[in-house]
Amino acid sequence: MLALMPTRFRKAVCLGALAWALWPSAHAFADTAAGSHGDPVAPLVMSLAIILLAAKLGAELAMRVGQPAVLGELVFGVLIGNLTLLGFDRLAYMKTDAAVDILARLGVVVLLFEVGLESTVAQMMKVGTSAFLVATLGVIGPFALGWGVGALLLPDASVYVHVFLGATLTATSVGLTARVMQDLSRSQSNEARIVLGAAVIDDVLGLVILAVVTGIIGAAEQGGSLPIGALLLIVGKATAFLVGSLLLGVWLSPRMFRIASRLKARGVLLALGLAFCFFLSWVASLIELAPIVGAFAAGLILEDIHYRDFADRGERTLDDLMKPIGAFLSPIFFVVMGMRTDLRALAEPAVLGLAGGLTLAAIVGKQLSMLGVVNRGVDRLVVGLGMIPRGEVGLIFANIGLGLHAAGKPIIDGNTFSAVIVMVIVTTMVTPPALKWAFSRSVRAPAPEPESVKQPAP
Amino acid sequence: MLALMPTRFRKAVCLGALAWALWPSAHAFADTAAGSHGDPVAPLVMSLAIILLAAKLGAELAMRVGQPAVLGELVFGVLIGNLTLLGFDRLAYMKTDAAVDILARLGVVVLLFEVGLESTVAQMMKVGTSAFLVATLGVIGPFALGWGVGALLLPDASVYVHVFLGATLTATSVGLTARVMQDLSRSQSNEARIVLGAAVIDDVLGLVILAVVTGIIGAAEQGGSLPIGALLLIVGKATAFLVGSLLLGVWLSPRMFRIASRLKARGVLLALGLAFCFFLSWVASLIELAPIVGAFAAGLILEDIHYRDFADRGERTLDDLMKPIGAFLSPIFFVVMGMRTDLRALAEPAVLGLAGGLTLAAIVGKQLSMLGVVNRGVDRLVVGLGMIPRGEVGLIFANIGLGLHAAGKPIIDGNTFSAVIVMVIVTTMVTPPALKWAFSRSVRAPAPEPESVKQPAP
């Protein structure tokens, strides 16, 4: 990789690598730096400096080989996170650092808000049927295939294990696809809207599936019955949130900004927009949806026309104000996601068979979702590929499985858990190049020229 | 205050207050919302939504009564933080929440970077002599008066207590003054540069004073001698940082950005600028300076001309990209600073005498600093008033005093600590109106019209 770079650039990288190797651990250093100020921000700023530089270096290399920037951020994250395998563990603290973690999470909230701002509720409604069908088929496909793979490769395990494995493959992780669409300047395409809408619905379906599966297993173990009431409550709460927040938001947003536009304080538009995003993220988490679902909904609801008063007096639009914040925070999420990818999971022979089966089931199964597209002129393959990433949701499922038991054995054991991790790694890594390829082969969509969008307008 | 607002605005505030009172605790809610996602970002986003709204409401009210926005942020922070006195403790968790705390600290780092960007090293050098003299006199004045107040009001305490009290009054907290200057669109005035430069030098002097005073007390207690070597090391390290980082930065920065301008990835300028700011903040903390000193130095070093290549291809300047990030993060710092202000400290009769004496010594003593101004056309009163805020540095000193002993008694006892807190509160609260007044009475400086700057250029 180094050989491909121009000399001067290579020199800089080598110097950087040298400086890095000579440094004592940033964290240990920062700890001793408590001194008279003892500011806990010291280790964080050091971590952020490293993460931001890694993100940009990764993004640059990815783009030079024609890939979305986020792939480079992930890969450089993986490299940093797995330096421990080479005996270099000075940066390993970043994988578990609470401050880095919270900024990464804030980064993906801000990203989904940004992406939501690029579409309106009306535009989402137009692809609503497709999104719903895509979500439903995208759950059925991997569920059935995952169950089958479980039955085939773990014949001795109980049927509950097979069902649970199927469930683990269902949920789509929306953050990565949102970011790839942004990198490719396609966030405003119908394909992106269908995938993002479907991923939101997936989040609701995931809640339901988790409740059903754990309910069935619990009932089987303790002889109770399936908690139908609890299930209905979950579906009801989640639906009420999605519909309610959209209706309330659509009513409230223009009024809120009309009042706010009378304020003289600086930065009112940005503060109010962010507060709205954060508030809906929190409400989403209250009803056990992912906070990013709320952030995306907030972005959809807020529309340029609501804050026209601000634009009329020469202030920037909210999209514009959010860009630097997203550019700062969202790479943190992807570098950290990469860092937490333990490559050793890929090197366990005992696991690889099951891992391969699950990964195939996850990828192939999600392609069923493309049949759900009813809108015309939509590239079905882009939708199918966009639904691939599983991200952290699969891991959350698997984690719950570690604590569940059927016939005295845990539903998910250590090996199965490792196989799920491999599935998450592979689905995350294949999505950026797959989407890039799918868009580039598509001649139908009259896309904006990506190169011209790279540089924001003056 | 409510009566001053227009009806519609008042209605919104009342509705907001009602909704707030009816809510269960955001934090308790968020805790139960762990659910299938269990995202620790949930309580944070709720806190941020409240803080951002409080900041803007406070800023608005402050501006309507002709005060800098930051005063309103502080006051609304104080109101939220002291709701516990009215028995409402649902929001009290924010005072100690680790995630809110780290974002607040990041906010002041970003603020000082922003303010640093508005000046160049050359411009700072022009006021360097003034800044140095202002810092030195601004240490001598409060030190002497603080010692005197201690001797007068605590006649039974040892001389070490008096010396330590004097030392506690010396350090200037630069964050607040930087923000007031920004609010008043005066960050580029010579007055601002002198105060900010002097505050940076104060941070070094503060380290030295702390080392001398604790060294003397330690020597007196244990019969050792003053650690001259350690003192010289501190001064040497701090001076080496300031001079070294300026020289290295001035040499490195244009080269770094020239290489970076060849990169095609989006957001390189912002990422590199932030990484540079974070790196110097960390280096500053390594040698026990405040991280914000490093951030300010980074801002000074980076100059528009270094990243002209980016501007030439139509990208925004770094100042411009930092604005939304600062507008998001810096109010968090001031609202949280307000929240942590315990008003009960103002209601302890036993403490008020000493508190009044210390506060007077702190304010009057710092006015000696204005004699250090040697540049022409500089409003000395603005400089003197700008040096008033003590912020957290005084508290750090007092905190160390709690752990030091002379003749078997702690140097700083509970009552004295409370008096120091009152001093910090008062110096923080008087600075914004004092500076606003000083600038408005000054006819000399041909200032940009503040009103026209409120709205950023399109």
CB within 8 Å: B290 and A457: no
CB within 8 Å: B101 and A40: yes
Reported ipTM: 0.81
B60 touches chain A (CB under 8 A): yes
Torsion angle defined by CA atoms of residues A277, A280, A282 and A288, in that order, rounded to the nearest 10 degrees: -130
* Residue that has been written with the tokens 């001797």 in this structure: B151
**pLDDT averaged per 10 residues, chain B (length 458):** 42 40 36 50 94 94 89 91 87 90 93 89 88 94 94 90 91 86 90 91 81 79 70 80 83 85 84 94 86 89 78 81 94 90 80 92 94 91 92 76 81 85 89 92 53 39
Closest C-alpha among B99, B13, B95, B86 to residue B56: B13
Nearest-CA distance B216 → chain A (Å) = 17
Per DSSP, the residues of A12-79 read HHHHHHHHHHHSPPHHHHHHHTTTTT--THHHHHHHHHHHHHHHHHHHHHHHHTT--HHHHHHHHHHH
Q: Is B360 exposed, middle or buried (0-12, 13-18, 19+ CB in 10 A)?
A: middle
Identify the three-state secondary structure at position B456.
coil
Q: What type of residue is B118? A: E
Q: Which of residues 85-104 of A touch B (CB under 8 A)?
A: 98-99, 101-102
Q: Which of residues 265-304 of A touch B (CB under 8 A)?
A: 265-268, 270-272, 274-279, 281-282, 285-291
Give me the pLDDT at residue A5, please.
42
B59 touches chain A (CB under 8 A): yes
Across A312-451, the runs of DSSP E, i.e. the strands, are 405-406, 409-410
Task: State how far the Cα of B352 lies from the Cα of B357, in Å rounded to an integer.
Answer: 8
Nearest CA in chain A to B8: A259
Identify the three-state secondary structure at position A451.
helix
Q: Which residues of A are less than 8 Å from B315 in CB distance?
A: 455-456, 458
Which one-letter DSSP state was computed for residue B444? Answer: S
Residues of chain A falling short of pLDDT 70: 1-38, 223-227, 442-458
Yes or no: say if A396 and A160 are a contact pair by the CB < 8 Å rule: no
A4 touches chain B (CB under 8 A): no
CB within 8 Å: A274 and B328: yes
CB within 8 Å: A271 and B396: no
- Beta-carbon contacts of B392 under 8 Å, excluding residues fewer than 6 positions away, are B173, B337, B424
Identify the three-state secondary structure at position A405.
strand
Joined together, the tokens standing for residue A71 give 């792939």
Nearest-CA distance B100 → chain A (Å) = 10
CB within 8 Å: B56 and A267: yes
Joined together, the tokens standing for residue B174 give 């630069």
Task: State how far the Cα of B224 lies from the Cα of B442, in Å rounded to an integer.
Answer: 52
Task: State how far the Cα of B17 lies from the Cα of A455, in Å rounded to an integer.
Answer: 44
Q: Which residues of B are less than 8 Å from A30 in CB distance?
A: 282, 285-286
CB within 8 Å: A327 and B267: yes
Give me the pLDDT at residue B443, please.
52
CB within 8 Å: B396 and A327: no
What is the bridge-based pairing of β-strands A409-410 and B405-406?
unpaired
CB within 8 Å: A41 and B265: no
Question: For an interface test with A, which of B328, B329, B333, B455 has the most A Cβ atoms less than 10 Å from its Cβ?
Answer: B328
Identify the three-state secondary structure at position A5.
coil
Per DSSP, the residues of B150-180 read HHHH-TTS-HHHHHHHHHHTT---HHHHHHH
Of B12, B30, B266, nearest to A285 by CB-CB distance is: B30
Give me the pLDDT at residue A216, please.
80
**Diameter of chain A measured on Cα atoms:** 70
CB within 8 Å: A59 and B12: no
A327 touches chain B (CB under 8 A): yes
A236 touches chain B (CB under 8 A): no
Give me the pLDDT at residue B435, please.
93
Task: State how far the Cα of B148 lies from the Cα of B154, in Å rounded to an integer.
Answer: 10
The enclosing H or E element of B405 equals strand B405-406
Task: State how far the Cα of A142 lies from the Cα of A157, in Å rounded to an integer.
Answer: 19
Give me the pLDDT at residue A261, please.
82
The enclosing H or E element of B416 equals helix B414-441
Of B36, B271, B314, nearest to A396 by CB-CB distance is: B36
Nearest CA in chain A to B321: A324
Joined together, the tokens standing for residue B155 give 């006649």
Q: Which residues of A are less than 8 Å from B331 in CB distance?
A: 271
- How many angstroms from the chain centroid is the CA of residue B42? 28
B13 touches chain A (CB under 8 A): no
How many CA within 13 A on the CB side of residue A397? Answer: 33
